[in-house]
A = this chain, B = another copy of it.
Amino acid sequence: MGKSFDILLFIIIILSIVLVMLESIKSFDAKYHDYLYTAEWVITVFFTIEYIARIISIKKPLKYIFSFYGIVDLFSTIPLYLSFFFAGSQVFLAVRALRLLRVFRILKLVRFMGEASQLKEAIKSSRAKIAVFIYTVLILSVIMGTVMYLIEGAEAGFTSIPRSIYWTIVTLTTVGYGDIAPVTSVGQIIAAIIMILGYGIIAVPTGIVTVEFAKQGSTANKKDKNVKEIHTNTQSCPHCTAENHQDNAKFCYECGNYLNEH
Protein backbone atom coordinates (compact mmCIF):
# COMPACT_ATOMS: atom_id res chain seq x y z
CA MET A 1 0.00 0.00 0.00
CA GLY A 2 2.90 2.32 0.82
CA LYS A 3 4.25 1.55 -2.66
CA SER A 4 1.05 2.28 -4.55
CA PHE A 5 0.65 5.58 -2.67
CA ASP A 6 4.20 6.48 -3.76
CA ILE A 7 3.30 5.83 -7.38
CA LEU A 8 0.20 8.06 -7.06
CA LEU A 9 2.32 10.78 -5.43
CA PHE A 10 4.90 10.45 -8.20
CA ILE A 11 2.24 10.90 -10.91
CA ILE A 12 0.74 13.94 -9.16
CA ILE A 13 4.15 15.59 -8.74
CA ILE A 14 5.01 15.07 -12.41
CA LEU A 15 1.54 16.36 -13.36
CA SER A 16 2.09 19.38 -11.18
CA ILE A 17 5.45 20.12 -12.86
CA VAL A 18 3.81 19.77 -16.29
CA LEU A 19 1.13 22.25 -15.16
CA VAL A 20 3.81 24.76 -14.12
CA MET A 21 5.43 24.40 -17.56
CA LEU A 22 2.16 24.80 -19.47
CA GLU A 23 1.22 27.82 -17.36
CA SER A 24 4.51 29.50 -18.31
CA ILE A 25 3.58 29.31 -22.01
CA LYS A 26 1.70 32.59 -22.48
CA SER A 27 -0.49 31.52 -25.40
CA PHE A 28 -1.47 28.27 -23.71
CA ASP A 29 -2.19 29.99 -20.39
CA ALA A 30 -4.39 32.59 -22.09
CA LYS A 31 -6.58 29.86 -23.59
CA TYR A 32 -6.84 27.36 -20.76
CA HIS A 33 -6.16 29.53 -17.70
CA ASP A 34 -9.26 28.34 -15.82
CA TYR A 35 -8.48 24.65 -16.32
CA LEU A 36 -4.86 25.13 -15.22
CA TYR A 37 -5.97 27.13 -12.19
CA THR A 38 -8.50 24.47 -11.14
CA ALA A 39 -5.96 21.69 -11.58
CA GLU A 40 -3.46 23.62 -9.50
CA TRP A 41 -6.08 23.99 -6.75
CA VAL A 42 -6.80 20.25 -6.75
CA ILE A 43 -3.08 19.47 -6.49
CA THR A 44 -2.52 22.05 -3.75
CA VAL A 45 -5.39 20.61 -1.71
CA PHE A 46 -3.98 17.11 -2.19
CA PHE A 47 -0.51 18.24 -1.07
CA THR A 48 -2.02 20.07 1.92
CA ILE A 49 -3.86 16.96 3.07
CA GLU A 50 -0.77 14.82 2.54
CA TYR A 51 1.37 17.29 4.49
CA ILE A 52 -1.07 17.41 7.43
CA ALA A 53 -1.47 13.60 7.35
CA ARG A 54 2.29 13.18 7.55
CA ILE A 55 2.53 15.50 10.56
CA ILE A 56 -0.35 13.79 12.36
CA SER A 57 0.85 10.24 11.72
CA ILE A 58 4.38 10.98 12.96
CA LYS A 59 5.17 10.93 16.68
CA LYS A 60 7.84 13.64 16.45
CA PRO A 61 6.32 16.09 13.95
CA LEU A 62 8.86 18.86 14.63
CA LYS A 63 11.73 16.65 13.54
CA TYR A 64 9.95 16.07 10.21
CA ILE A 65 8.88 19.71 9.75
CA PHE A 66 12.45 20.99 10.01
CA SER A 67 14.04 18.14 8.04
CA PHE A 68 15.13 18.80 4.43
CA TYR A 69 12.19 16.93 2.90
CA GLY A 70 9.80 18.48 5.44
CA ILE A 71 10.73 21.96 4.20
CA VAL A 72 10.51 20.85 0.57
CA ASP A 73 7.03 19.45 1.30
CA LEU A 74 5.94 22.72 2.91
CA PHE A 75 7.26 24.82 0.02
CA SER A 76 5.54 22.48 -2.43
CA THR A 77 2.23 23.20 -0.73
CA ILE A 78 2.09 26.90 0.03
CA PRO A 79 2.78 28.82 -3.24
CA LEU A 80 -0.89 29.01 -4.20
CA TYR A 81 -1.90 30.22 -0.72
CA LEU A 82 0.78 32.90 -0.76
CA SER A 83 -0.37 34.21 -4.15
CA PHE A 84 -3.54 35.40 -2.38
CA PHE A 85 -1.60 37.79 -0.24
CA PHE A 86 1.20 38.83 -2.55
CA ALA A 87 1.40 39.87 -6.21
CA GLY A 88 4.27 38.57 -8.39
CA SER A 89 2.70 35.17 -8.85
CA GLN A 90 5.44 34.45 -11.38
CA VAL A 91 7.93 33.70 -8.61
CA PHE A 92 5.46 31.43 -6.82
CA LEU A 93 4.87 29.67 -10.11
CA ALA A 94 8.53 28.76 -10.24
CA VAL A 95 8.71 27.73 -6.61
CA ARG A 96 6.24 25.03 -7.54
CA ALA A 97 8.93 23.56 -9.79
CA LEU A 98 10.73 22.70 -6.58
CA ARG A 99 8.21 19.90 -6.17
CA LEU A 100 10.52 18.04 -8.47
CA LEU A 101 12.83 17.57 -5.49
CA ARG A 102 10.14 15.43 -3.89
CA VAL A 103 10.58 12.99 -6.72
CA PHE A 104 14.06 12.23 -5.40
CA ARG A 105 12.63 10.75 -2.21
CA ILE A 106 10.26 8.53 -4.12
CA LEU A 107 12.90 7.40 -6.60
CA LYS A 108 15.22 6.41 -3.77
CA LEU A 109 15.27 2.90 -5.15
CA VAL A 110 18.27 0.91 -4.06
CA ARG A 111 19.43 0.12 -7.55
CA PHE A 112 19.64 3.70 -8.75
CA MET A 113 21.02 4.91 -5.47
CA GLY A 114 23.73 2.28 -5.69
CA GLU A 115 24.84 3.65 -9.03
CA ALA A 116 24.46 7.26 -7.92
CA SER A 117 26.51 6.66 -4.80
CA GLN A 118 29.15 5.01 -6.98
CA LEU A 119 29.23 8.24 -9.03
CA LYS A 120 29.38 10.22 -5.80
CA GLU A 121 32.25 8.03 -4.61
CA ALA A 122 34.08 8.63 -7.89
CA ILE A 123 33.64 12.39 -7.54
CA LYS A 124 34.72 12.30 -3.90
CA SER A 125 37.91 10.34 -4.39
CA SER A 126 39.06 12.63 -7.21
CA ARG A 127 38.00 15.82 -5.42
CA ALA A 128 41.51 17.29 -5.50
CA LYS A 129 41.91 16.63 -9.24
CA ILE A 130 38.52 18.22 -9.94
CA ALA A 131 39.46 21.24 -7.79
CA VAL A 132 42.70 21.73 -9.77
CA PHE A 133 40.69 21.35 -12.98
CA ILE A 134 38.01 23.93 -12.04
CA TYR A 135 40.68 26.24 -10.64
CA THR A 136 42.62 26.03 -13.94
CA VAL A 137 39.44 26.70 -15.96
CA LEU A 138 38.61 29.76 -13.83
CA ILE A 139 42.13 31.24 -13.86
CA LEU A 140 42.35 30.69 -17.63
CA SER A 141 38.94 32.33 -18.07
CA VAL A 142 39.86 35.41 -16.03
CA ILE A 143 43.22 35.96 -17.74
CA MET A 144 42.02 35.14 -21.28
CA GLY A 145 38.85 37.15 -20.69
CA THR A 146 40.85 40.22 -19.69
CA VAL A 147 43.16 39.82 -22.69
CA MET A 148 40.19 39.51 -25.09
CA TYR A 149 38.55 42.56 -23.49
CA LEU A 150 41.64 44.61 -24.29
CA ILE A 151 42.00 43.25 -27.83
CA GLU A 152 38.41 43.15 -29.04
CA GLY A 153 36.71 45.98 -27.17
CA ALA A 154 33.06 46.93 -27.03
CA GLU A 155 32.25 46.77 -30.77
CA ALA A 156 32.60 42.98 -30.91
CA GLY A 157 30.43 42.52 -27.81
CA PHE A 158 33.29 42.36 -25.29
CA THR A 159 31.80 45.31 -23.40
CA SER A 160 33.27 44.50 -19.98
CA ILE A 161 35.71 42.08 -18.36
CA PRO A 162 32.98 39.92 -16.72
CA ARG A 163 31.29 39.63 -20.14
CA SER A 164 34.66 38.67 -21.69
CA ILE A 165 35.12 36.03 -19.01
CA TYR A 166 31.63 34.72 -19.78
CA TRP A 167 32.62 34.52 -23.45
CA THR A 168 35.85 32.66 -22.54
CA ILE A 169 33.92 30.05 -20.56
CA VAL A 170 31.44 29.70 -23.45
CA THR A 171 34.39 29.07 -25.78
CA LEU A 172 36.51 26.92 -23.46
CA THR A 173 33.62 24.53 -22.81
CA THR A 174 33.05 24.34 -26.61
CA VAL A 175 29.47 25.63 -26.18
CA GLY A 176 29.99 28.61 -28.52
CA TYR A 177 26.72 30.56 -28.67
CA GLY A 178 28.01 33.12 -31.11
CA ASP A 179 26.20 36.02 -29.39
CA ILE A 180 29.70 37.39 -28.77
CA ALA A 181 32.41 36.48 -31.29
CA PRO A 182 35.85 37.95 -31.96
CA VAL A 183 36.18 40.05 -35.11
CA THR A 184 39.83 41.15 -35.09
CA SER A 185 42.59 38.90 -36.43
CA VAL A 186 44.50 38.78 -33.14
CA GLY A 187 41.27 38.08 -31.27
CA GLN A 188 40.47 35.19 -33.59
CA ILE A 189 43.95 33.70 -33.18
CA ILE A 190 43.62 33.84 -29.38
CA ALA A 191 40.09 32.40 -29.67
CA ALA A 192 41.50 29.51 -31.73
CA ILE A 193 44.11 28.86 -29.02
CA ILE A 194 41.41 28.92 -26.31
CA MET A 195 39.36 26.42 -28.32
CA ILE A 196 42.22 23.96 -28.74
CA LEU A 197 43.01 24.37 -25.04
CA GLY A 198 39.37 23.71 -24.19
CA TYR A 199 39.46 20.68 -26.46
CA GLY A 200 42.35 19.35 -24.41
CA ILE A 201 41.02 20.38 -21.00
CA ILE A 202 37.80 18.46 -21.67
CA ALA A 203 40.01 15.38 -21.47
CA VAL A 204 40.77 15.93 -17.78
CA PRO A 205 37.32 15.26 -16.21
CA THR A 206 36.84 12.39 -18.65
CA GLY A 207 40.14 10.86 -17.64
CA ILE A 208 39.32 11.25 -13.94
CA VAL A 209 35.87 9.68 -14.22
CA THR A 210 37.06 6.83 -16.45
CA VAL A 211 39.90 5.86 -14.11
CA GLU A 212 37.55 6.02 -11.10
CA PHE A 213 34.96 3.87 -12.90
CA ALA A 214 37.64 1.35 -13.84
CA LYS A 215 38.83 1.19 -10.20
CA GLN A 216 35.31 0.73 -8.87
CA GLY A 217 34.64 -1.91 -11.50
CA SER A 218 37.49 -4.03 -10.19
CA THR A 219 36.61 -3.53 -6.51
CA ALA A 220 32.87 -3.95 -7.22
CA ASN A 221 33.52 -7.49 -8.41
CA LYS A 222 34.69 -8.40 -4.93
CA LYS A 223 31.87 -6.72 -3.03
CA ASP A 224 28.97 -7.61 -5.31
CA LYS A 225 28.08 -10.80 -3.51
CA ASN A 226 26.96 -9.17 -0.28
CA VAL A 227 24.71 -6.51 -1.85
CA LYS A 228 21.06 -7.17 -2.58
CA GLU A 229 18.46 -5.00 -4.25
CA ILE A 230 15.86 -3.94 -1.73
CA HIS A 231 12.81 -1.96 -2.79
CA THR A 232 11.86 0.83 -0.44
CA ASN A 233 9.17 3.50 -0.22
CA THR A 234 8.77 6.96 1.31
CA GLN A 235 6.59 5.84 4.22
CA SER A 236 8.09 7.40 7.32
CA CYS A 237 8.08 5.77 10.74
CA PRO A 238 5.46 7.48 12.98
CA HIS A 239 7.84 7.20 15.92
CA CYS A 240 11.19 8.42 14.63
CA THR A 241 10.47 9.74 11.08
CA ALA A 242 13.04 7.33 9.61
CA GLU A 243 12.30 6.70 5.93
CA ASN A 244 13.23 4.21 3.21
CA HIS A 245 11.54 1.23 4.79
CA GLN A 246 11.39 -1.94 2.74
CA ASP A 247 8.13 -2.41 0.87
CA ASN A 248 6.91 -5.16 3.17
CA ALA A 249 8.46 -3.92 6.41
CA LYS A 250 6.36 -4.20 9.55
CA PHE A 251 8.71 -2.64 12.09
CA CYS A 252 10.91 0.42 11.82
CA TYR A 253 14.53 -0.56 11.22
CA GLU A 254 15.59 2.47 13.24
CA CYS A 255 13.55 2.41 16.46
CA GLY A 256 11.89 -1.02 16.29
CA ASN A 257 8.30 0.29 16.66
CA TYR A 258 5.38 -1.04 14.70
CA LEU A 259 5.01 0.89 11.41
CA ASN A 260 1.36 0.61 10.35
CA GLU A 261 -0.26 1.01 13.70
CA HIS A 262 -3.27 3.10 12.63
Contacts and interface: CB of A to CB of B under 8 A. Distances in A.
B25 A160 contact: yes
A11 interface: no
B94 A112 contact: no
Main SS at interface, chain A: helix
A115 B100 contact: no
A34 interface: no
Q: How large is the interface on A (under 10, 10 to 19, 20 to 34, 35 or more residues)?
A: 35 or more
A58 interface: no
A17 B139 CA distance: 11
Contact of A206 (B142, B147, B207): B207
A20 interface: yes
A90 interface: yes
Contacts of A119: 129, 132, 204
Contacts of A147: 94
A192 B189 CA distance: 23
What copy number does this chain have within its complex?
4
Interface string A42-54: 0000000000000
A63 interface: no
A177 interface: yes
Interface of A: 17, 20-21, 24-26, 90-91, 94, 97, 100, 103-104, 107, 111-112, 114-116, 118-119, 122, 128-132, 134-135, 137, 139, 142-143, 146-147, 149-150, 154, 159-163, 165-166, 169-171, 173-179, 181, 185, 188-189, 191-192, 195-196, 198-200, 202-215, 217
